Structure 1
Amino acid sequence: MPIPLEDNYNDVIGKAQRGLNLPDDALAARIGMPESVITKLKEGSMDEIVFDKISRALNLHTGALIAMAKKDWYPDPVRLAGLEQFNTPYEDYTVNAYVVWDPDTKLAAAFDTGASAKPMVDFIASKGLKLEAIYLTHTHPDHVADIATLRTANQPVYSCNKEPWDGTELFDAGHEFNLGGLRIETKQTSGHSRGGITYIIHGLDERVAIVGDALFASSMGGGMVSWADALATNRRYILANPENTVICPGHGPMTTVGQEKAHNPFYPEYKPSAS
């Protein structure tokens, strides 16, 4: 079964409202309409005039937001040699983790753990891979829940020095790692979390960005630390990559830079008919 999108259109609107500090009454005043029209839209009304006014007020792309409301878009499947996604249940939602490996040397790295790392451990064994290291995108509980299972041979676990985790080796954003013939860049995509890291992997058939909760297919993580930083670092360090770059989010399906430029409501400037 395909992994559902992490957010619906109401989630997108809600995140933008919180980021801009515009509760329903303030948003209604900004768009010059009664608060009841916002309530109706959130309950399923498809009034495109209201969608357009709300989108403009929240710096969202109207067409992309309406497509989410109509459930008209889902990212194309991603299949890439040297990359595997793992999706495990955590409380009432699911969380992703990833294994990346150099097909020539069979050296592998894990990125986050998911709620259970057993599927990752089993996969690594079935493919005859050697797990060299574990990298954390950030330290929210759902992403670090099963380090003990994943760390089968005392592999190093790395986390950003702005968001340390007990037992990890710390690094500054900008540091590079090597994995066989692969090169791993680290970029600071803070905003959702204080020390959020995006790992840019070079050397597979396509560039890969493992982004944690910085960005989702057609959405993004909430700006729990800084909404402005979340938007800005996503633009600078994720969406500036080539369009075929595979985006591996902490929740929801994998996507690509090109698809997010075309379909993510939070980045209207990339659309030909930006609102």
Structure 2
Amino acid sequence: MKWSQVPLGVFQTNCYIIEKENGDCLIFDPGSEGKKLINWLTKRNLKPTAILLTHAHFDHIGAVDEVRDFYQIPVYLHEEEEEWLGNPQLNGSKFFKMQEPLRVKPADYILKREEAFKLGDFEFFVYETPGHSPGSVSFYFEKEGFVVSGDALFKSSIGRTDLPGGNQSQLLKSIHEKLLFLPEETLVLSGHGPVTTIGEEMDHNPYLNGF
């Protein structure tokens, strides 16, 4: 199994593609530029089986409908943000002048708890990591040694908490109780910016050392 990082849109939100040798793949956070993402997948002969959302802020969901409709695949989202996809005030698109109000069709499947998950041949664990937003989740691939963390944890930073439902103390709690318990060599595939590791952030992230 391998992963690819595809930055999309004005905010360069990282969409991640996790693929098997047979070409089956999962799409995480298709935030914008649906045609670009579809062309990227087509050139590599990849066959998406699902879209998984770390959370429902507009810069992570902008291409959901275009990609979902093209491949006829389901979308997964945590229940705390079930209403966000179609609500520009909740998904944040209302507050950014460069962004048209965004309304996305409802998710096909709702994540309701932390659990081991299996989609086809893909196996991972869903961690609830709220704070950046109430329904933020992280997808941990233990055997492969990486976690798709959305906007919870970045290289030398953490997610912003000034949008609806944000809570910095809750975010720090999520990071320390869920993410920092992962092996230090675990790759952190963040929603923006470069990939880092759990160990790197334990040692050098200024937002975490004083918690």
What TM-score do the two structures reach when normalised by structure 2? 0.81
What residue number does 1:226 align with? Answer: 167
Find 2:113's aligned residue among 159, 170, 173.
173
What residue number does 1:111 align with? Answer: 28
What residue number does 1:261 align with? Answer: 202
Aligned length: 185
What residue number does 2:127 align with? Answer: 187
C-alpha deviation, 1:180, in angstroms:
4.5
Structure 1 counterpart SS, 2:161:
coil
* Residues 173 and 197 in structure 1, CA contact (< 8 A), matched pair in contact too: no
| Distance in 2 separating the partners of 1:86 and 1:234 | 24
Going from structure 1 to structure 2, the CA distance change for 1:194 and 1:88 (only over 3 Å counts) comes to same
Find 1:97's aligned residue among 1, 10, 15.
15
What TM-score do the two structures reach when normalised by structure 1? 0.63
CA shift digits 1:216-246 (9 cap, x unpaired):
1100012342211100101121121111211
C-alpha deviation, 1:141, in angstroms:
0.5
Find 2:81's aligned residue among 163, 166, 170.
163
Aligned pairs for 1:68-107 (under 5 A) are 82-90=2-10, 93-103=11-21, 105-107=22-24
* Residues 149 and 190 in structure 2, CA contact (< 8 A), matched pair in contact too: yes
Percent identity of equivalent pairs? 29
When structure 1 is superposed on structure 2, of 170-179 and 219-228 the one drifting more is 170-179
What residue number does 2:154 align with? Answer: 216
CA shift digits 1:143-170 (9 cap, x unpaired):
0011122222220000001111342021
C-alpha deviation, 1:129, in angstroms:
1.9
* Residues 112 and 137 in structure 1, CA contact (< 8 A), matched pair in contact too: yes
What residue number does 1:33 align with? Answer: none
Find 2:54's aligned residue among 137, 143, 147.
137
What residue number does 1:251 align with? Answer: 192
| Distance in 1 separating the partners of 2:3 and 2:50 | 15
* Residues 85 and 99 in structure 1, CA contact (< 8 A), matched pair in contact too: yes
CA shift digits 1:39-98 (9 cap, x unpaired):
xxxxxxxxxxxxxxxxxxxxxxxxxxxxxxxxxxxxxxxxxx6100011232xx321111
Determine which structure has the larger strand proportion and give its number: 2
* AA of the residue aligned to 2:141: I
* Residues 111 and 135 in structure 1, CA contact (< 8 A), matched pair in contact too: yes
Which structure exhibits the higher relative contact order, with contacts defined as CA atoms closer than 8 Å and separated by 6 or more residues? 1
CA shift digits 1:97-123 (9 cap, x unpaired):
1111122x3221000112213333223
Going from structure 1 to structure 2, the CA distance change for 1:110 and 1:100 (only over 3 Å counts) comes to same
CA shift digits 1:231-265 (9 cap, x unpaired):
01011211211112111111111111111112211
Supply the RMSD in Å over aligned alpha carbons.
1.9
What residue number does 1:237 align with? Answer: 178
| Distance in 2 separating the partners of 1:131 and 1:177 | 17
